[in-house]
Amino acid sequence: MDKDTFTDKDHRQIEEHGLTNDEVYRQLDLFKMPKPFLKLAGPCTVGNGITVFDREKKTSLIEIYETGGPGHNCVKFVPASGVASRMFKVLLWYLNQEKGITSDAVSMEASAGDGDAKQLLDFMDGLKKFAFFKELKSALFDKGFNVDTLLEKGHFRDILRFLLTGDGLDYTNLPKGLLKFHEYPEGSRTAFEEHLIEAASYVADEDGRCPLHLTVSQEHLNGFDSSFKAVRPIYEERYGVVYDISFSMQAKSTDTLAVKLDNTPLRQKDGRLLFRPGGHGALLKNLNEIDGDIIFIKNIDNVVPDYLKPETFRWKKITGGYLISIQNQIRDYMKRLASGDADHQLLVEAASFLEEKLLLSIPGLIKSASPEAKRTYLMERLDRPVRVCGMVKNAGEPGGGPFWVEDETGERSLQIVEPAQIDLDSKEQRDILEASTHFNPVDLVCGVRDWQGRPFDLSRFVDPKTVCISQKSKDGKDLKALEHPGLWNGSMARWITLFVEVPDITFNPVKTVNDLLRKEHQPG
């Protein structure tokens, strides 16, 4: 890239943004590269990349976690910066129409096959079942409206206005974490509150300290902080824990440059460069700064009411126990290999563990190499962060899945791959995608310290080529946007990865507001 692309004013803006010139030039070069597709070698299936535990093994792993987990510094990590506007996309579309929104008109549209109209009718039919209904009813009443009358007469606009805008609950401008998700006899709870309760069940240490970290946007930090202060004494007393909560924001230095379709920098109306958030892969920096041994990662919207929680807690302990058992074996091999006394039997054992337990292939050149070369190779492959990833059977949900991926050297590894990373013009690659049996629900437990207890620098284990480039628009102008390697995709590409089948009940996302009407989000 021409080093005269940027002016002195641009360089000052880049520096103020926390970026370096070299990084911005690197990003420009990425836009010019061919689309960075991964090469799928096959889907991960049960017995071929995905492990299924029998009843005895589950019991054993729970015991391992319950005895060993409290001795570790466990942390729950929740990406929670997303706003809720996507949940209300259909409702917002109707609210922004100039024409009236009546049940008769919407019913006619639904009868004609309009899916959006059907969603709106489902929302109104189920309105009283939402955990936020009482607050909505009160907000309407305060301004002289009766929600029952509005529903009876089929007048939907005021209901939508008081739910979505600042005239009432202003839900489109809140983060998902602060929306009321579940109703209980004593009152409703937000998704954030449900995560506080979850954390008390599987990350609290021997002293009851319960660490929880959320990544939030700057504008919503006070909202999360106020919500926590209001409920903290209730849940600490109820669950016998002391919360150690922290928040962080996505660093501006992880933003990426936007370009025009010809790959030249896009400028805003005032002539300044346009930087955009770098996707969830930017959160690797936040994850890297957490002081913890074992980190559980789970999305903000994947929570359930109390009566369904025990099974999800059970699986957190199963996967946590599996992580601890694998780390113990890695630590044992690393100590023995590091001692320098790597006899033939130890090298055979360690190689077998690498291939059979960790599903990592060993190149032929290494198998025929000297004992010292084998020892060096085995130590390098074992001395990495470890992640155990829950996988549910594929039920048509959008998102990534578990695959065998082949790199340019022909080496295969387990990876979580998004559809955008796959060359769908290739029949071979498309066939592999369609043969996939499982889905990634973002349910991970991560070991981020080495065999000597030192924290890994997680930036060392990223595959920098696995970026995502997409076409967007800004102020009516088309642009190309760059996202960093996804947090659980390319950002963890060089970790030791293990896939485990988990039951469907552990995955209950809320992508649209009507998902809250599913039985998994309703009172038991």
E strand intervals along 84-174 = none
Q: pLDDT digits over 278-292, tens only?
A: 988 999 999 999 999
Max CA distance (Å), the chain: 84
Using the predicted structure, report yes or no on whether residue 1 has a pLDDT greater than 50. no
* 244, β-bridge pairs: 211
Output the six-digit token pair for 405: 């991926």
Question: Considering the chain, what is the average pLDDT of its residues?
Answer: 93
What global pTM score does this model have? 0.94
The bridge status of strand 386-393 relative to strand 496-501 is parallel
Specify the pLDDT at position 2.
Answer: 52
Specify the pLDDT at position 84: 87
pLDDT of residue 420: 87
HEC secondary structure over 248-266: ECCCHHHCEECECCCCCEC
3-state secondary structure of 430: helix
Which domains, and CATH codes, for the chain?
Answer: 36-83+180-524 (3.90.550.10), 85-173 (no CATH)
How far is residue 443's CA from residue 316's CA, in Å, rounded to a whole number?
Answer: 9
What pLDDT score was predicted for residue 409? 86
pLDDT (tens digit per residue) in 431-445: 999 999 999 989 999
pLDDT at 189 over 60: yes
